[in-house]
């Protein structure tokens, strides 16, 4: 992958910072996400589990809902995601789960331009850059319901 820009490095650092706020006592797998908005502002999210297990919220979803709560859903330009076991021992790159891919699709289509997805290991240099169309090909989206961006 080509080297990260300074902006991309800052976004990955913010996602790594959000790992500290993961509420993940059940899986003990922390995930951090960071969004860069068009004006450079960075918003973060962390996974937020609860005792019902299945109702847990992913870090990417939390971050995107936070942008929406600030009226900024259409302004998301990039997202960085990282995660690994809270007890250490994991240095893999993770990619967004299926539901998060659909939610990123909503943000991208509302923005009307491609949203860069950076997937980074919790530490070290391993980072992969994806397009949503690669992660979620032939996706169902707002256009199928006659809704434009």
60 part of the active site = yes
Give me the least distance between CB of 51 and ligand THU, in Å please. Answer: 12
Burial 39-49 (b: 16+ CB within 10 A, else e): eeebbbbbbbb
Q: Read off φ and ψ for residue 44, nearest 5 degrees.
A: -120, 165
- Is 97 or 111 the residue whose CB approaches ligand THU more closely? 97
Q: Which of 55, 7, 64 is nearest to 35 (CA)?
A: 64
∠ CA 68-95-60, rounded to 5°: 20
Work out how close the CB of 146 gets to ligand THU at its nearest, in angstroms, rounded to a whole number.
29
Q: Which is nearer to ligand THU, 69 or 143 (CB)?
A: 69
Q: Which of 7, 49, 60, 106 is catalytic?
A: 60
Nearer to ligand THU, 26 or 38 (CB): 26
Total Cβ atoms within 10 A of residue 30: 23
Applying CB under 6 A, the residues found at the interface with ligand THU are 24, 27, 29, 31, 47, 49, 56, 58-60, 96-97, 100
| Least CB distance to ligand THU at residue 6 (A) | 26
Give the active site residues. 60
């Amino acid at each position: 992958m080509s080297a990260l820009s300074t902006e991309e490095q800052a976004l990955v650092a913010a996602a790594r910072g959000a790992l500290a706020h993961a509420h993940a006592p059940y899986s003990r797998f922390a995930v951090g996400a960071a969004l860069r908005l068009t004006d450079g502002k960075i918003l973060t999210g962390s996974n937020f589990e609860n005792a019902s297990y299945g109702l847990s919220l992913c870090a990417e979803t939390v971050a995107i809902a936070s942008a929406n709560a600030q009226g900024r859903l259409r302004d998301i330009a990039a997202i960085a995601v990282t995660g690994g076991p809270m007890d250490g021992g994991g240095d893999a790159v993770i990619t967004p789960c299926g539901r998060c891919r659909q939610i990123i699709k909503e943000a991208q289509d509302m923005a009307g331009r491609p949203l860069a997805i950076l997937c980074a290991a919790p530490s070290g240099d391993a980072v992969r850059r994806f397009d949503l169309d690669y992660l979620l090909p032939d996706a169902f989206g707002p256009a199928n319901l006659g809704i434009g961006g």
